[in-house]
Structure 1
Amino acid sequence: MEIFLYTLSVMYSPGPVNFMGLNAGLTGQLKKTIGFFLGVGCAMLILFVVFGYLGSAAIPQSWLHYIALVGAIYTFYLAAKMLLANVESTQSQPAALNFFNGLWIQLLNPKAILVILPVTTIMYPAANIRGSMIFVVSLLISLGASGAPLAYALMGQLLGQKIANPVWFNRLNKVMGILLIVSGIFMFNDFLIGMRGP
């Protein structure tokens, strides 16, 4: 039970994936963004299964800062797309996020790896989760991971329905882009800390 509480509390906290879900809801793209949510869940399942069966040897600690760098660059790219988008009306929306956007942003998010490592290397063995149960529990947690940006998108959709003026959509889009940049800066900082070493 503590595994689910731990992972859900971390996954539902604000971060780049959830900001992107919120923005999708604000811009009225909830239905078009289902693939993005599935991509996030698939990325988490891949990471949980890899670390669940191979342990922390799958990705050495010394590689995490390089993953953070690639994640920061990809986050900056998505933020730029968000900042440059111009919503002229509630019917005119920027391109929807897709499955691969969700997959890559989550695979390249070093925070996801840092959340998964204690679960797979400490909590799974302590709860006697082995063999096929690793896949089953990982699948359940990954479904919860898909639900996090979906929940943010639903909140965004509720807020978006209250806003009729496209100027506000553009302003909120810019705010979401800036929040993504801040998330990318934290990832880039993780890269710099990793380069300095212990």
Structure 2
Amino acid sequence: MEIFLYSFSVMYSPGPVNAMGLNAGLVGQFRRTVGFFLGVGFAMFVLFIVFGYTGEALISKAILPYLTLIGGGYTGYLAYKVYTSKVSFPDRAEGVTETELKTLTFWNGFLIQALNPKGMMVVLPVTTVMFPAAQITGILISVVSALIAIAGAGAPAIYSLLGALIGSRITKSSHFDTFNRLMGFILAICACFMLYDFFLHFHKG
């Protein structure tokens, strides 16, 4: 039980992945970003399978800072794309929104989650400490990993749904532009924290 409680508490807290999901919902792309949610879940599943069966043997702690650097750079790129996106209402009578923000894809979700240090915060303690303590071995690793991955995909989906509920009450494109800039700013802050962790590691070293 503590495995799921720990995983849920980390995965459902605010972060770059959930911010992307929220923004997609706000700009009316909830249904079009299902692939993004699946990519997030699949990335979690792959990470849990890899580390669940190999522990820390495959990737040493010395490599993790570089993963943080790559993740910070990718998050910064997404922050720029979100911040500079525009939303327009070509036909007010139909109430249809069109956005220049590219629809989030499966691979967007997979990459941002695979390179997200927050994801590692879930995977490493669970696979190296909690799995052995709960005697989760063999096929059980795959089963539990799949359940956590499904929950991982649900986190940005729920944020996106909340964004869709809020966004449906907004009728001015300028409001969406403001939300895009706010979400882009939040993602930029996440990227800065990742890069700070990278430089702090070498400063201590």
Flag structure 1 segments of 5+ consecutive residues without an equivalent.
none
Give the match for residue 111 of structure 1: 118
CA displacement, residues 57-80 of structure 1 (integer Å, 9 cap, x when unaligned): 221111111111100110011111
Pair 1:14-2:20 in alignment: no
CA RMSD between the two structures: 0.9
Flag structure 2 segments of 5+ consecutive residues without an equivalent.
90-95
Query: Matched residues in 2 for 1:64 and 1:111: separation?
Result: 12
Pair 1:2-2:9 in alignment: no
Alpha carbons 1:69, 1:188 under 8 Å: kept = yes
Alpha carbons 1:64, 1:194 under 8 Å: kept = no
Within the candidate set 180, 187, 201, 1:194 is matched to 201
1:92 partner amino acid: E
Of Structure 1 and Structure 2, the greater strand share is in: 2
2:107 partner amino acid: F
**Alignment TM-score, normalising by the size of structure 1:** 0.98
Pair 1:92-2:98 in alignment: yes
> Greater CA deviation, 107-116 or 174-183?
107-116
SS at match of 1:52: helix
SS at match of 1:58: coil
2:36 partner amino acid: F
| TM-superposed deviation, 1:114 | 2.4
Query: Matched residues in 1 for 2:40 and 2:19: separation?
Result: 13
Alpha carbons 2:20, 2:156 under 8 Å: kept = yes
SS at match of 2:177: helix
Alpha carbons 2:10, 2:118 under 8 Å: kept = no
| TM-superposed deviation, 1:111 | 2.0
Query: Matched residues in 1 for 2:186 and 2:167: separation?
Result: 18
Query: Matched residues in 2 for 1:58 and 1:169: separation?
Result: 43
> Greater CA deviation, 15-24 or 87-96?
87-96
Identity %: 51
**Alignment TM-score, normalising by the size of structure 2:** 0.94
1:29 partner amino acid: Q
SS at match of 1:92: strand
1:14 partner amino acid: P
1:4 partner amino acid: F
Pair 1:147-2:151 in alignment: no
* Aligned residues between the structures: 198
> Greater CA deviation, 116-125 or 90-99?
90-99
Of Structure 1 and Structure 2, the greater helix share is in: 1
Q: Where do residues 119-130 of structure 1 align in structure 2 (5 Å cutoff)? A: 119-130=126-137
